[in-house]
Amino acid sequence: MNNTQVYPANSGKSGETERLSFPIVGMHCASCAKLIERQLKKTPGVSDAAVNYGSEQATVAFAPRTVTPQQLADAVAAIGYKAIVTGSQDRSADSIRDAEKRKNLRDLMLKVWIGGMATFLILLSGLPEMLGTAGRSLFPDPYPFMMPPAILLLLSSIVQFWVGREFYLATWSGLKNRTASMDTLVALGTTAAFAYSVAVVLIGPVMQRLGLRTDMYFDVASVVITLVLLGRLLEAKAKSRTGEAIRKLLELEAKTARVIRGGEEVVVPVAEVIAGDTIRVRPGEKIPVDGTITDGSSSIDESMVTGESIPVDKIKGDPVIGGTINKSGAFLFLATRIGSETMLSQIVRLVAEAQSSRAPIQRLADSVSGYFVPAVLMLAVATFVLWFDLGSFPFAFSNMIAVLIIACPCAMGLATPTAIMVGVGRGAGAGILIKDAESLEIAHKVKTIVFDKTGTLTRGEPEVTGVYFMDNLNHVVPDLGWQVPGDTKGQNFVSGIVKSIERESEHPLAKAIVTRLTEAPDYPVTDFGAVEGFGVKAKVNGIPVLIGNRKLMETNRVMRCAELDKKAIELESEGRTLAYVAVDGKNVALLALADTLKPESRETVSGLKKIGIKVWMITGDNEKTATTIARQAQIDHVLAEVLPAQKEAKIREFKKSTGGVVAFAGDGVNDAPALAAADVGIAMGTGTDVAIESAGITLLNRDLRSVVSAIRLSRSTMSIIRQNLFWAFGYNVILIPVAMGILYPIWGILLNPALAGLAMAASSVSVVTNSLRLKNARI
């Protein structure tokens, strides 16, 4: 079966189950999302489904042999919504969704304008009556703007059945599926007001003879529908800003590529690039796909993907990332990953999945929303019965409508997902890739973080930290010709010998030594050989040379040097790796190597301590070396001599012993099991595929300080979510009783149905606006 691509290129397979994520158009509240989710779950072949109202995204796990993506779309369409699923390999689903949303936004704006004008005329006509006796005295008699009931009926009908058509469609769909939503509340409340008013127009005299009031509520029905739609319009515009992270990532993609085919350079769409193509990139151009440089060099701006502002120098053999910008030189590279396999596509997919995922805290709001609408319907009926018994029909009728309108659960449905969307997007813009909402939520609870040493706290590559020579080096063996012009101490001669020999070695330490001694002279090397586990041996100008550890020196009975032995003891106490140099059987030099601390490590540890997090380091190094590195990083707690295979077990033991939430930060390759075992795994962005699968958070920018930023982002996001939930729950807890008339016996305060509609719309907009504050939060 062909891999079905859906926005945003999100398709994953696991055994007999395929997972798709696709947009849903037409949802109005959290109840809509629950209805679609239930419909998808009962579709044969679907094992799980989740629909997120905030991101308007559905994620479905299904058996491809039983159900097709198109059948999933049909199931959604059957209940009145639209699922955008496409089988193409491009971004067509993205384009379709954006086109649908733009169309819906235009339709909504048109309805708000027409509804607003009709409602204004209806309100203008009834203004004297609304203001009561005092108000009637302010206007001339006859009132020039008074319209006949038939005209009011016509204007109100336009608002009720054309402007408010979607409320009826959603209500009918809900009734067919035995569920109710916010649309049900609006439809019931406004229909009751409209129907009673129609009865007054058609059979007013009959109603008077029956002792019924003949007040018309066209204004109430029209105002509520118009205000609710206005709220949706404002909400849609605000929500569109929460998806900026995805749009910005998609804008990074190059549109064309300069491919070398048949010895000629041809410009083709990126979709036509195949793995194995050789591509030319000129200065200022975007790199179209992932690959490896085969010819040339350049400086590349990777900030759009990694968040790192400083351009990265690239030479032959270095990897390049699609979507990044070539700043200087031209080069050729071999395409290795195309389409949905590129790093940018993986990032887009993960950001979209994370924005659509549910945080544990959202379960409370989802649970409440599921029971909320039926409870409101019962409260509305109870309100009518109570006030009809204690007061009058108009009084009871108005309060019932106010309850139906005020109780919209939209704010509760938006409280968590909008904050998650903005938080995940903010992280992506800073080079912090968050895998799912749960990781973002749990991160704020972290009390202890364990850092892997190599590649995380340290650079991961050895570096020569010092080169030391014996005293009077130039006079030890004068007949060997150590005297060279300008080399008063003979150090250049020895350095040249060491560099020339180590250049022949493939050992990781050899590269560091050659890099340090790059300015030393070159000498011809003969009889080179590696002594496994000890070092190397060779001859330079016929002089026998040994370079290696202490055991190599002892085995070959090298004449020791007192001052170098003393220095070696000092360096070993600092955790350095030592390489002795023996020339013609005499120890003449000593090199100290270490995996040096990253410049930002100490700042990261300090930042974590400031926000109340304990910091540990775990390493396979001996205790002396581990303690030295920990001291340099100002880390107080160390787990030393831990083999790679033992890290996972150590993290599990650590979680039990501390009793709190534990995060583990590693390089995402050999630390994958430990990343998965921790409550929150933070990968350093190397070994992208493994990091994505194992870690909850991946630092694409490879900046260790982003660990602090990720935790601050989590704390800010959770703070916003709590504020949103407090407002959403508080709004309903406070205003539903007010709408029911609880304040009327004491202070004579009632909630007008029109004001209830305005308050309901304002609550949803306020939640989205509050979530957008995360875009400027300090992390």
Residue-wise pLDDT for 156-212, tens only, equals 999 999 998 888 887 887 777 777 666 777 787 788 778 888 988 888 888 777 666
Mean pLDDT of 444-472: 85
Q: What is the pLDDT of residues 216-240, one digit of tens each?
A: 778 777 877 887 787 777 767 766 6
What gap in Å lies between CA 639 and CA 619, rounded to an integer?
Answer: 6
Is-contact 338 254, C-beta < 8 A?
A: no
Cα within 13 Å of Cα(319), Cβ side? 13
Which H or E run contains 733? helix 706-740
**Lowest mean pLDDT across 195-209, 392-406, 586-600:** 392-406
Q: Which of 183, 452, 679, 703 is catalytic?
A: 452
Structure tokens at 348: 């887009």
Q: What type of residue is 233?
A: L
Class of domain 18-88: alpha beta
pLDDT value, residue 712: 93
The domain segmentation of the chain, as residue ranges, is 18-88, 253-347, 461-596
My answer on whether omega of the bond before 205 falls inside 30° of 0, hence cis, is no
Q: Which of 191, 249, 185, 234 is nearest to 7 (CA)?
A: 249
Tell me which range, 9-23, 519-533, 669-683, is most confidently predicted by mean pLDDT: 519-533
Q: How confident is the model at residue 12 (pLDDT cuts 50, 70, 90)?
A: very low
State the Cα–Cα distance between residues 5 and 17, nearest whole angstrom. Answer: 15
The model's pLDDT over 722-762, given as tens digits with 9 standing for 90+, comes to 898 888 777 777 888 888 888 888 787 777 666 666 676 67
107-145: pLDDT as tens digits: 889 998 999 899 889 888 877 766 555 556 666 677 777
Pick the range with the lowest mean pLDDT from 168-177, 268-277, 444-453, 584-593.
168-177
CATH for 461-596, among 3.90.209.20, 3.40.50.720, 3.40.1110.10, 3.30.70.1400? 3.40.1110.10
d(CA 778, CA 385): 52
For the chain, the 3-state helix, strand and coil shares in percent, each to the nearest 5, are 55, 20, 25
Q: Output the pLDDT for position 68.
A: 86
Reply yes or no on whether the pLDDT at 380 is more than 70: yes
- Residues of the chain with pLDDT > 70, as a percent, come to 82
Lowest mean pLDDT across 69-78, 320-329, 350-359, 678-687: 350-359
Considering Cα of 764, then 770, then 771, then 773, what sign does the dihedral take?
A: positive
Q: Are 542 and 508 in contact (CB under 8 A)?
A: no
> Rg of the Cα trace of the chain?
36
Looking at residue 21, what DSSP letter applies? Answer: E
Whether residue 180 contacts residue 373, with contact meaning beta carbons closer than 8 Å, is answered with yes
> Has residue 2 got a pLDDT over 70?
no
Q: Cβ distance 59 to 47 under 8 Å?
A: no
Q: Where are the alpha helices (DSSP H) in 529-646?
A: 550-555, 562-573, 601-610, 623-633
Asked if pLDDT for residue 5 goes beyond 90, the answer is no
Q: Compare 280 and 241 and report the one with higher pLDDT.
A: 280
699 vs 143, 412, 461, 744, CA distance in Å? 69, 32, 19, 57
Reduced to 3 states, what is the DSSP secondary structure of residue 489? coil
- Please state, in angstroms and as integers, the Cα–Cα distance from residue 48 to each residue in 11, 213, 365, 760, following that order: 15, 53, 20, 32
Q: How far apart are CA 574 and CA 628, in angstroms?
A: 6
Q: Both tokens of residue 252?
A: 């990074």
Averaged confidence pLDDT in the chain = 79
Handedness of CA 329, 334, 336, 340 (dihedral sign): positive
pLDDT band at 14 (very low <50, low <70, confident <90, very high): very low
366 is catalytic: no
Greatest distance between any 2 Cα atoms in the chain: 134
**Whole-angstrom distance, CA of residue 255 vs CA of residue 239:** 28
Dihedral sign of CA atoms 15, 347, 419, 236 in order: negative
Residue type, position 650, single letter: K
Quote the CA–CA distance of 267 and 719 in Å, as a whole number: 49
E-strand ranges in 667-741 read: 680-683, 697-699
Contacts of 1 (CB under 8 A, 6+ apart): 64
Least confident of 94-108, 542-556, 604-618, 720-734: 94-108
Sign of CA dihedral 446, 452, 456, 457: positive
Angle at CA of residue 334, ends 331 and 337, nearest 5°: 125
Please check whether residue 624 is in contact with residue 573, taking contact to mean a CB–CB distance below 8 angstroms. yes
What pLDDT was estimated at residue 475?
A: 58
User: Tokens for 715?
Assistant: 């704390």
Arithmetic mean of pLDDT, 350-358: 65
Looking up tokens 């070994």 gives 687
For residue 478, what pLDDT band results from cuts at 50, 70 and 90? Answer: very low
Output the six-digit token pair for 744: 């009327």
Is residue 551 within 8 A of residue 558, CB to CB? The reply is no
Nearest residue to 575 via CA among 624, 530, 532, 528: 624
- Give the C-alpha distances (Å, rounded to integers) separating 111 from 115, 354, 756: 6, 34, 20
Closest CA to 60 of 89, 24, 96: 24
Range with top average pLDDT, 52-66, 104-118, 341-355:
104-118
Instruction: Please say whether the beta carbons of 100 and 84 come within 8 A.
Output: yes
Q: Which residues contact 388 (CB under 8 A, 6 or more apart)?
A: 395, 396
- Cα separations in angstroms, 644 against 619, 639, 669: 8, 12, 11
Number of alpha helices (DSSP H) and beta strands (DSSP E) in the chain: 27, 27
670: helix, coil or strand?
A: coil
**For residue 706, which of 443, 462, 461, 448 has the smallest C-alpha distance?**
443
Helices marked H in 391-436:
393-406, 410-429
Name, of 430-439, 483-492, 588-597, the range with top average pLDDT: 588-597
Q: Which of 144-148, 439-443, 684-688 has the highest mean pLDDT?
A: 439-443
Length of the chain: 779
Nearest by Cα to 427 from 153, 239, 701 = 701
Q: What is residue 9's predicted lDDT score, i.e. its pLDDT?
A: 32
| Between 490 and 523, the higher pLDDT residue | 523
Assess whether pLDDT exceeds 50 at residue 662. yes
Check: CB of residue 14 under 8 Å from CB of residue 169.
no
Distance of alpha carbon 454 from alpha carbon 686, whole angstroms: 12
Token pair in block for residue 415: 């409280």
Does 1.10.10.60 match the CATH number of domain 253-347? no
